[in-house]
Amino acid sequence: MQTDDRSEDMMEVFQPTGLDILESKPELNFDSLLPKPKNLKLTPDEVQELASFKASFVILGPAAGSVLVCPGNQEDTPPDQKCPYAAKCPLLRIKKAPQGELCPIERVITEQRFVAWCKRIGQDPTQLTEDARITVSELVWLDLQEQRCVNILSTGEAARLTQVNTTEAINFTGSDGTQQVLPLTWERVLHVNTIRLDNIQDRRRLILKDWMLTPEQQWKIKKAEGKAKGNDLGSAQAARGDKLRKLDPAFE
């Protein structure tokens, strides 16, 4: 059977090209990439709570997940295992700590610091670029860690800013075959939270340096733009030299 040459020509004409396929491809809907739970049967209040929870992660980024979950009134909890704010929390004092809910203290800190850091880097909190969002989120997380550390260090033995490290007794067999016991030893060292505070402050300084937001870098920017007042030592010495030259043109 012979193939009709005209049919082959028509097939070649109507053969879709790569451009035709791309143009005819439906727009990708990212909302449909992952499966969704079905038949949740949520009440209107529950729908609103879920929407608020999801929006917090979209807007605040990782900072939304860093807020402490309240452990409750902690009546039978040893002091060294209580939450960082236990000694000062007014809700804990009146035994109304919202167990299982987000800590009211850290929730406010997170929201307020997020907005404040957004303004510091010069961006609108509602229209953050993604690099700015992750930066602000990390700065907020550092603020929360700092609050926890300083609250722990403000009470009891920790207020001395030191802690006692103890080693357990060790049993071992000597070269002569006898059992030997090393006694307990202890030493007083810097509290682990003071060391963590130093790390937090160093990390924050590095982030601000990356964004050219440290006081030193801000002055350098103004100096490059001709707006610096020149309060550094070099500028002060140069100003004195200019005054001397005006008084005595022969001054070198």
43-93: pLDDT as tens digits: 999 999 999 999 999 999 999 999 999 999 998 899 888 999 999 999 999
Mean pLDDT of the chain: 82
pLDDT score at 101: 94
173 within some domain: no
Domain count, the chain: 1
176 within some domain: no
31 within some domain: no
- pLDDT(14) > 50: no
- pLDDT(124) > 70: yes
83 within some domain: yes
Question: What range defines the domain where residue 149 resides?
Answer: 54-164+188-213
List, for residues 135-146, the tens digit of each pLDDT value.
999 999 999 999
41 within some domain: no
243 within some domain: no
Contact in structure between 159 and 176 (CB atoms under 8 Å): no
Query: How open is the CA angle 13-14-15, to the nearest 5 degrees?
Result: 95
| More reliable by pLDDT, 216 or 114 | 114
Torsion of CA 146, 149, 151, 157, to 10 degrees: -160
- Cα–Cα distance, 52 to 188 (Å, whole number): 47
199 within some domain: yes
Q: What is the mean pLDDT of residues 101-127?
A: 94
131 within some domain: yes
